[in-house]
Amino acid sequence: MAVTVETLDKLERKITLTLPVGDIQSEVDSRLKRLARTVKMDGFRPGKVPLSVVAQRYGYSVHYEVMNDKVGRAFAQAANEANLRVAGQPRITEKEGAPEGQLAFDAVFEVYPEVKIGDLAQAEVERIDAEVTDAAIDKTLDILRKQRRTYQLRPHDAPAQDGDRVTVDFEGKIDGESFTGGKAEDFQFSVGESQMMKEFEEAVRGMKAGESKTFQLAFPADYHGKDVAGKTADFMVTVKKIEASHLPEVNEAFAKSLGIADATVEGLRADIRKNLEREVKFRLLSRNKQAVMDALVAKAELELPKSIVQSEIDRMVESARADLKQRGVKDADKAPIPEEVFRPQAERRVRLGLVVAELVRANELGAKQEQLREHIRELAASYERPADVERWYFGDNRRLAEVEAIVIENNVTDFVLGKAKVTEKKVSFDELMGPQS
């Protein structure tokens, strides 16, 4: 049967579907008969409910199910015969003026766009590299030592200094009024480690146990607490206790306490280097992959299916609601979340997904089994029992699909880097590991 496809917009199409009323009624009658053999209703034995009673009770819902099934199959068959790649779900409405004995429906939908990828040889990509230095290992050692430090009470007249742990009571007020989170008792923090705002640390530094002080603290305009952001508070702080910190020495005992197989200082440093090199590898992959994806999107021309973009926006809104709910926000499922906030990100995700899919299809960049196994081995290597982690990944198709997506992105990254104009850039370990904008 020839299928007539009407073009409504760049990606929007319309197909008219017709269904014989007799076929629909026949299927409804068949389903009601099957239902009558098992349905339970008061006043009747199982399987003995009259068909007319079953039809009266369930006729509408069965008819609705049959219509959905029939129209859905008719649309899928028509789209297949017309060689259409349908994007998203069609909007199907009943059409008036159908021939006698027929029902007609208009199916309006979008198709996937043609993706044109420009000459990748003209794309410019900056590829970064970094190495694990002895300074990076020393810094990691310092972090491990701080995590295992002990404290000893300082003399009563000793002033608080950087590295000390202080126990304080404090209360802040804005225009003479208390505010949420502005008061605490027996609150502990380490001086000089940026656990508190700069003005707070400066006020406590040099104070002695038993002393009190008042000072002003200006909250930045972008402070996470909106009630106090951009405002200045008057604080009173009382130091109750000052403890000096003592870091463990880096020796064989320290290495043993960390569970290092080769419980020597050299073995500890080698283990740290191995873990840092693994983290550096993944960070470099992520950063360079992002640079490639940016270049790839810039070289592509395509129209975005509105339905796919809307689905992505809906997913992001639901994710935001789930995050609010996890944070304990009341009525998170009803919180007003403007969709337009997510539109730019949703459009980029859809655009990138379509471009990557086209590049993978055209160049056979799909994930191979050995690539999946190798990537999972790398992920599992940082755990105490790698074999258990590998089984955990291979035991769930959803987790395997996530790994497959990453491997495909890596294949695309390597493919583009092999064709583009690549500029090499060396970055420091700290720059690589620091937060990205």
Q: 10 Å Cβ neighbour count for 290? A: 12
pLDDT at residue 437 tops 70: no
Same domain, 327 and 241: no
pLDDT at residue 120 tops 50: yes
Same domain, 272 and 391: yes
pLDDT at residue 53 tops 90: no
Q: In this predicted model, what pLDDT tens digit does every residue of 168-201 receive, in sequence order? A: 999 999 999 999 889 999 999 999 999 999 999 9
Same domain, 227 and 266: no
pLDDT at residue 42 tops 50: yes
pLDDT at residue 382 tops 90: no
Identify how many contiguous H helices and E strands the chain contains and give both numbers. Answer: 12, 13
* pLDDT for position 99: 83
Same domain, 318 and 276: yes
Same domain, 198 and 297: no
Tokens for 138?
A: 């020393």
Domain count for the chain:
3
Residues 6+ apart with CB under 8 A from 432: 128, 130, 280, 283, 284, 287
The number of CA neighbours under 13 Å toward the Cβ of 328 is: 0
* pLDDT for position 58: 87
> Domain containing 67 — which CATH number?
3.30.70.1050
Same domain, 275 and 357: yes
Q: In this predicted model, what pLDDT tens digit does every residue of 260-269 receive, in sequence order? A: 888 899 999 9
> Domain containing 341 — which CATH number?
1.10.3120
| Mean pLDDT for the chain overall | 91
Range of the domain at 15: 5-111
Q: In this predicted model, what pLDDT tens digit does every residue of 231-263 receive, in sequence order? A: 999 999 999 999 999 999 999 999 999 988 888
Burial code of 306-327, b = ≥16 C-beta within 10 A, e = fewer?
Answer: bbbbebbbeebbeeebeebeee
Same domain, 212 and 302: no
pLDDT at residue 1 tops 70: no
Give the residue from 64, 87, 111 where a domain finishes. 111
Tokens for 158?
A: 């000793």
- pLDDT confidence tier of residue 381, bands split at 50, 70 and 90: confident
